[in-house]
Amino acid sequence: MRVRDLVDKPDLGLTVLAGDESLERPIRWVYTTDLLDPGRYLSGGELVLTGLVWRRGPEDSEKFVRAVAGADIAALGAGDAAFGEIPADLVDACRRHGVTLIEVPIDVSFATVTEDVTRRLAEESGTGIDGVLSRRRRLLNAIAEGAGSAGLVRVWSQDNEIPAAVLSTSGRIVASTMDISESDVDSLVHAFLTAERVPAATKLPDERWASVFPVGSRELASWFLACDGEHEKWPREARESVMELASLAGLERARIEGGLRARHRFGEQITALITSGVRDPAELAARLRAAELDADAMFVAVVVTGEGVTGQPFLEEVLAARFPELLVATLSAETIGLIPVGEGADVAELVRRAADRLEPAMGRRRLAIGVSGPVRGSAALRGAVDEARHVCRLAELRHTRVAVATADEVDSHVMLIASVPDELRQTFRNRVLGPVLRYDEEHDSRLVDTLEAFLDSSGSWQRCAERLHVHVNTLRYRMRRVEELTGRSLSTLEDRVDLFLALRIR
């Protein structure tokens, strides 16, 4: 039932005072209130009826309308018994906030309107309570028969004639009856993670509309539902049953997480053995066999550090479906993952793709991820973990909120810098560049920027002067000042390297 259907009933005599453009909005339910701020009792799509008892002055109209607009109601029906007419300030507030306002005449009771709406909604639901129970029974049977998420999505889509999918925030398609491309997945993940509230509708790259719903709580590493179309325009039974689908999908995810928790003990034991410095290949091989892993298999190590978020849920969400034998453990401030991989498996690409999708939703949180190269056999696992730790330090130096570094980058000077302890890096930078930094601060000069431009220009006076838009003599004066302050000569390669490395340390 839509707002227009109600307004067009001649026996009710309703009049639209604001929001004519939103008469196609569906009505999900009726809620009658005399509270000044009823927002916490609304879930969206209601026809809100009020006798205006809450109004003491014009400022109350603004507060009330702001509350119902924030709850995304279908329309507001106001009775004129209290004031003889609808106050102009209420009409103005509804126009400002985009709320459809309907005047209910004094001789029409709210009970009559409520009865009319509920009867129409019951008719639209088809078979009424029997149909609801039947659809619920089919969903429960899909779970009982072990059909998993794929069975749940298939049954719900068939019953409601709406294609749907369960996805993870890393972009993995858990189950789907939707036709979705990689770019669609990117759009859906972005919409779910960044929407002010869910459910929410979003437009896909091909101009189709889709709606996203939470599966459990909305977290960085979580599942969500995506369905074709704008949920507000669905039939009432689809809007109600989609939450049952989300709830059952949550149970399926909990079942999978239970299986992962069963492997946590193995991950903690094996990781502790690798990182403790104990050199006992036989014990490590035995622990791997107890975890049903081949001690001679190919492995990749991943190390994750975080600010405001832990790495374990991220690793399990991104990698567990592709690598079910994954072992994960969190030790102090870092999470370590050991992944048995086959030939051609690209762990780094999976992690990078997930990182790109999560980046917009990180806020002040950060994740740094280091991925080792593949190694064969249990004896090489310590080296793989150490390598992943070093490249994780490299990721920490980057400015993105989810930064990924791999063993392929160990041939960069940045990798050397990252492998040095923080205190030593800062000491080196301060000793080499400290006098220049202090001079810049005291004299509001730009010696450090000029030095960086000079080295980036490979020591070419002319190119650097053109780049900075200064005369060559000005550039030479600045560089002489840098040499005096640092005690280093820009004419020698050794001193240039020291200055270059100090500039790269942040």
CB 266 within 8 A of CB 337: no
Residue that is last in its domain, among 379, 412, 445: 412
pLDDT by residue (tens digit) across 237-296? 788 888 888 888 888 888 888 877 778 888 888 888 888 866 677 888 888 888 888 888
**pLDDT for the residue numbered 135:** 65
Amino acid at 16: V
* Dihedral (CA of 308, 313, 317, 323) sign: positive
pLDDT by residue (tens digit) across 299-320? 999 999 988 888 888 888 888 8
**Which tokens in the block code for residue 185?**
């997945």
Whether 231 is in a domain gets the answer yes
| CATH assignment at residue 77 | 3.40.1390.20
Whether 274 is in a domain gets the answer no
Same domain, 156 and 243: yes
Whether 335 is in a domain gets the answer yes
Of the candidates 227, 215, 245, the one whose C-alpha atom is nearest the C-alpha of residue 139 is: 245
pLDDT by residue (tens digit) across 402-440? 999 888 776 555 556 656 667 777 888 888 999 999 999
Q: Which long-range contacts (CB under 8 A, 24 or more apart) does 346-349 make?
A: 347/300, 347/302, 347/319, 347/323, 347/371, 348/404, 348/406, 348/408
Residue that is last in its domain, among 102, 124, 146: 124
CB 348 within 8 A of CB 325: no
Same domain, 443 and 390: no
pLDDT by residue (tens digit) across 114-154? 888 877 776 665 544 445 555 667 777 766 666 788 888 99
| CATH assignment at residue 238 | 3.30.450.40
Whether 417 is in a domain gets the answer no
Residue that is last in its domain, among 124, 141, 159: 124
| Domain assignment of residue 436, given as a range | 422-504
| CATH assignment at residue 487 | 1.10.10.2840
Whether 259 is in a domain gets the answer no
Same domain, 371 and 293: yes
* Dihedral (CA of 331, 333, 334, 335) sign: positive
The percentage of residues in the chain with a pLDDT greater than 90, rounded to a whole number, is 33
pLDDT by residue (tens digit) across 45-91? 889 999 898 998 899 999 999 999 998 899 999 987 777 889 999 99
DSSP 33: -
Residue 129 CB: number of other CB atoms within 10 A?
9
**pLDDT for the residue numbered 415:** 56
Cite the DSSP H helix spans in 161-200.
Answer: 182-194
Number of H helices, E strands in the chain: 18, 16
Scan for tokens 């000569």, then name that residue: 489
CB 158 within 8 A of CB 173: no
DSSP 372: P
Amino acid at 227: C
